[in-house]
Amino acid sequence: MKSYARATMQHQLPMTFAAALVMTLLSACTVGPDFEMPSASQSQHYDQQAEQRLGDAGNTAGEQHIALGQKVSGEWWTTFRSPKLDQVIHRAIDGNLQLVAADATIRQAASSVAAAEGALYPHVDLGVQAGRQKTHNAPEASVSNFYGVGPQVGFDLDAFGGNKRLIEQQQAFTQLQQHRYEAAYLTLTGDVASQALLIASANAQIAAVEKLLANDAKNLELVRMAHLHGSTTLIDVSLAQTRLAQDRTLLPPLAQQRDAAKHALSILTGNGPGDWIAPDFDFAEFVLPPSVPVSLPSEMAHSRPDVLQAEAELHMASAAVGVATANLYPHVELSASLAQAASGNGGAALWGFAAGLTAPIFSGGTLQAERQAATEGYKASLADYQQTVIQSFGQVADTLQAINHDAEQKVAQDDALRAAETSLRLNQQAYAQGENSILQVLETQRAYEQALLGQIRVKTAQYLDTIRLFVALGGNSVGVFENRAAAQ
């Protein structure tokens, strides 16, 4: 009778365990919040005054304007129509070391995702042991060899989804690294275009100063001839000499600006300044885009890498709450082993199957505090995301106003240059006729010099602010990593 009952219990135990296992699997869930993308911004404008001024309705014919509601597409720098700039930017994209590092970081993060996903599958190991033992409780003490060899299997049921949340967190981290690559790409292309324009600006200013120096030398020669004929004094000669010497001091800083920009281009392409010499650029090679597409604020979150970085960090924070929540629940593991073992002259096949459950009872408040910390971390990430979005709107608004004021400054500078040219011409004629002094000529020449250099600087600002606007709008950089990876 006892043997029958024992057999019945032995038969029911596996059935009971199997039923418990099935119930555990069926009740398995993933605790914690499911990540939801933040709602799109309700803003419809960056700066209404600038948008109205630069829009088609308020734009003056021939001035730069914006196309509100259109997205930047393609390679934005091609709108400047400079084949040389296109070549240098592509060279930088292929050789920039920051992009190489960002690419490796993305692949590192992707490998970490694969490693985390391994926790969802059984782990199979091979266990081997061997030794020599002495038996004391036998009628006669004996010494024998023993060994055991066989597979061991372990499986975490992840009943409450802690491992799944860890995988989700790692996937979000991989997305974060991809957006950092896109941000580096956007910064790189903007920097290359800006340095090329600074080279063109320096060359234009150098050419203008050299023209002024030629006029200074001509004025000095005229004054010296006049002094030989007794019509001027040594004071006039000294004034002309002083002006020539002062204007010569303008060249070295401009040459330094040009050379520094060239060196920066070399570094951006992944080369030392002595290994690759950047080309010269001239304003004649560029065309200022007459129209710049400007996406709506509600679409900005999907166009800027830094906003998408903040979104990925928010996703990571959400997954961290899930991990901390899962730690509050029981942890279930299954294990099994099969071994061929022998000791002395005997051997046998041994197998085992076990299930283990670990449930937190008292942790001194650690687990609850960790979940609360993760929740507060999510709130902080959400605020950072919202702040990033607002700052992106501010950058676009600032750049739109800069372009607006550049246009106003250009009109004023053109008027100043025309007035200075007229004044210089009239004073030179009056001096030739003996109606005024060399000091008046030099003063009007100084005004003309400042107006000419000012016009070049305004033109430079127009190009640089256009580049900044493309960058502030995201420059169509989202997805460049996937596109480059697919092309390789």
In a domain, residue 250? The reply is yes
Residue 235: which residues within 8 A CB-CB, separation 6 or more?
A: none
At 357, give phi and psi (nearest 5°): -130, 125
pTM for this entry = 0.86
- Give mean pLDDT in consecutive 10-residue pieces for the chain, a chain of 488 residues: 40 43 53 88 89 76 85 94 97 95 93 91 86 69 76 88 93 96 97 98 95 87 82 84 91 96 97 94 95 91 92 96 92 84 71 84 90 96 95 96 94 93 89 79 86 94 97 94 83
The helix/strand/coil state of 328 is coil
Q: What is the pLDDT of residue 58?
A: 56
Quote the tokens at residue 45: 């404008």
Number of domains in the chain: 1
In a domain, residue 116? The reply is yes
In a domain, residue 113? The reply is yes
Number of residues assigned to the chain: 488
The helix/strand/coil state of 67 is strand
In a domain, residue 111? The reply is yes
In a domain, residue 340? The reply is no
- What is the distance between the terminal CA atoms of the chain, rounded to a whole angstrom? 75
What is the greatest pairwise CA distance in the chain? Answer: 146
Long-range own/partner contacts, residues 116-123 (CB < 8 A, 24 or more apart): 116/163, 116/166, 116/167, 116/170, 117/167, 119/156, 119/158, 119/163, 119/166, 119/167, 120/158, 120/163, 120/164, 120/167, 121/155, 122/153, 122/154, 122/155, 123/153, 123/154, 123/155
In a domain, residue 325? The reply is yes
In a domain, residue 362? The reply is no
Q: What is the pLDDT of residue 5?
A: 39
d(CA 264, CA 285): 20
Q: What is the pLDDT of residue 200?
A: 97
Q: What is the pLDDT of residue 233?
A: 82
Q: What is the pLDDT of residue 352?
A: 81
In a domain, residue 8? The reply is no
Q: What is the pLDDT of residue 1?
A: 42
What is the domain-level CATH number for residue 309? 1.20.1600.10
Which residue segment(s) compose the domain that 256 sits in?
27-133+155-333+367-487
